[in-house]
Copies of this chain bind each other. A is one copy, B any other.
């Protein structure tokens, strides 16, 4: 599993019968290589929320899935160049997210009043004339098992960070008190 992208981005959220609101969502793109039984590459797109542990939406795009996505949305690139092109679009949105009228923005829309069930995640360009949909992906809500696995991963990396911090605190205390006793002599 190779992580290609992981950033917190501003997303416009539209649920049914609700006011549009802005949210900070972490967008992660991983490349998963499988060698058995056949060599294949899958692209994993994951939306999470650093504050809400239960927020998880997933999409796995295989090479075959990409062919139908390509036909359906009129994409002109192949599967190999798709991840970088997608990341370029996300970076474009990122660079404009502080602007009052961003030209590129991310949109997350959902048929239900709450953010649940499948959602559409889109990169939208707004010009003087219309909204242009550059890419629209349909993500499924993480199952209990998927959220469980994701949280177990978060927990183990947070434990590592906490341990590193404890060691740094110990070292800082030792270093500085040594310097202090030396200076006071």
Contact = CB atoms under 8 A, between A and B. Distances in A.
A117 to B, nearest CB: 17
A33 interface: no
A172 interface: yes
A148 B53 CA distance: 9
Contacts of A154: 155
Determine how many copies of this chain the complex contains: 2
- Chain A contact residues, majority secondary structure: helix
A172 B176 contact: yes
Interface stretch (A39-47, A81-89, A156-164): A156-164
7 contacts: A158-B158, A165-B166, A169-B169, A176-B176, A179-B180, A180-B183, A183-B183
Interface of A: 53-54, 143-145, 147-148, 151-152, 154-156, 158-159, 161-162, 165-166, 168-169, 172-173, 176-177, 179-180, 183-184
